[in-house]
């Protein structure tokens, strides 16, 4: 009689589901001679392409001297990982790359491939000036003006000059109006926001704006209640109110949707959108890309 192998470990291993893969933690060192924002954004965009990867970020900004670089290399030695950098000054750049070679760690100049392609296309050489993209030019001052405008026109403030806005966001409480306006301001867009308050009509001036694009923000009731509950908890507010009552919240959202439809305002559902995605959709609208934004009707 032949032996029965049906219960053998090999067979059981084939039939049983594979154990879940544990998340991979690793150190990523970001060395910049400027603010580090570009490098940080690039690193996060790349890491987001990998599932179950959890980078531990070490950011070294404004590294412009040998002493600062040596301190960074000391930290890199204590937490081995991968090094991305945007160092421009040749001496510091060479010292960083040599230091990483001695530590046997990968060191990658993040902007080099893009700079090389653009240099070949333009037939022009690059500058070695540190922080060349941070010039105090018209673009910079436009962004600062837009930021001041957003702060001065938050939650319906400063409503007398809404026509100066590029875009006015309208929505019920906690639909990310303020952070979206601040994000747009960093892109040079003057953005104001006007809250819709239960029991109060929307300001008449919204219907008469000539130069500003008015955009309505909406959200699912369940998600809105969750956000509002978290807000109340952060304020240590325990009392129940219509602010988080399901029926009242649904009525708020329906009232807002009807207002948007009545005025023909484009509407963006922020339920599953990040602030960055909402801002990108608004920028599409400002640039005429109406077909790329979900207009709810």
How many structural domains compose the chain? Answer: 2
My answer on whether 105 and 149 are in the same domain is no
Nearest-angstrom CA–CA distance, 3 and 147: 78
Choose the final residue of a domain: 122, 148, 175.
122
- Distance of alpha carbon 92 from alpha carbon 128, whole angstroms: 12
Integer angstrom CA distances of residue 182 from 42, 80, 116, 214, 270: 21, 37, 33, 16, 16
> Would you state the pLDDT for residue 159?
65
**Radius of gyration for the chain, computed over Cα atoms and rounded to the nearest angstrom:** 26
Q: How far is CA 68 from the centre of its chain?
A: 29
**Domain ranges, residue 118:** 24-122
In whole angstroms, give the CA distance from residue 297 to residue 289. 18
Residue that the structure tokens 């594979």 belong to: 18
Residues 102 and 180 in one domain: no
Same domain, 37 and 76: yes
Whether residue 3 lies inside any domain: the answer is: no
Quick one: which of 34, 37, 86 has its CA closest to 64? 34
Closest CA to 50 of 32, 88, 23: 23
| pLDDT at 31 (0 to 100) | 97
Q: Is residue 58 part of a domain?
A: yes
59 and 7 Cβ atoms separated by less than 8 Å? no
Handedness of CA 97, 101, 102, 103 (dihedral sign): positive
Look at residues 122, 153, 178 and tell me which one is the last residue of a structural domain.
122
- Is residue 131 a part of any domain in this protein? no
What CATH number is given to the structural domain containing 28?
A: 3.40.50
pLDDT digits (tens, 9 = 90+) for 45-65: 999 999 888 999 999 999 999
Helix extents (H) in 153-245: 177-186, 221-234
- Tell me, yes or no, whether 33 lies in a domain: yes
Residue 172 placed within a domain = yes
Give the count of beta carbons closer than 10 Å to the beta carbon of residue 220.
15
Residue 267 phi/psi, 5-degree rounding, is: -125, 135
CB 57 within 8 A of CB 87: no
Tell me, yes or no, whether 164 and 214 share the same domain. Answer: yes
The ranges of the chain with pLDDT < 50 are 1-13, 290-297
Cα(218)–Cα(176) distance, integer angstroms: 10
Indicate whether 97 and 149 sit together in one domain: no
Q: Are residues 150 and 226 in the same domain?
A: yes
My answer on whether 87 and 223 are in the same domain is no
- Contact predicate 152/158, CB 8 Å: yes
Q: What is the pLDDT of residue 128?
A: 67
Q: Do 64 and 185 sit in the same domain of this protein?
A: no
């Amino acid at each position: 009689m032949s032996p029965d192998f049906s219960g053998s470990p090999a067979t059981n291993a084939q039939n049983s589901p594979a154990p879940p893969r544990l998340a991979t933690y690793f150190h990523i060192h970001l060395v910049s001679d400027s603010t580090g924002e570009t490098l940080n954004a690039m690193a996060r965009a790349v890491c987001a392409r990998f599932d179950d990867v959890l980078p531990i970020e070490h950011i070294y900004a404004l590294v412009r001297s040998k002493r600062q670089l040596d301190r960074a290399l000391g930290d890199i030695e204590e937490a081995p990982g991968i090094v991305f950098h945007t160092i421009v000054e040749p001496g510091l750049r060479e010292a960083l790359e040599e230091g990483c070679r001695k530590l046997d760690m990968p060191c990658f100049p993040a902007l080099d491939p893009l700079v090389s392609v653009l240099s070949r296309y333009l037939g022009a050489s690059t500058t070695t000036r540190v922080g060349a993209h941070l010039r105090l030019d018209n673009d910079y001052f436009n962004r600062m003006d837009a930021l001041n405008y957003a702060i001065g026109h938050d939650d319906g403030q400063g409503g007398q000059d809404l026509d100066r806005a590029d875009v006015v966001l309208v929505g019920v409480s906690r639909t990310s109006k303020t952070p979206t306006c601040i994000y747009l301001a960093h892109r040079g867009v003057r953005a104001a926001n006007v809250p819709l308050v239960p029991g109060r009509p929307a300001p008449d001036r919204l219907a008469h704006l000539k130069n500003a694009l008015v955009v309505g923000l909406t959200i699912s009731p369940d998600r809105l209640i969750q956000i509002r509950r978290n807000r109340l908890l952060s304020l240590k507010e325990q009392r129940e109110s219509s602010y988080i009552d399901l029926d009242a919240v649904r009525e708020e959202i329906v009232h807002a949707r009807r207002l948007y439809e009545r005025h023909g305002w484009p509407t963006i559902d922020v339920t599953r959108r990040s602030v960055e995605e909402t801002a990108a959709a608004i920028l599409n609208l400002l640039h005429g890309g109406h077909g790329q934004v979900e207009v709810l009707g």
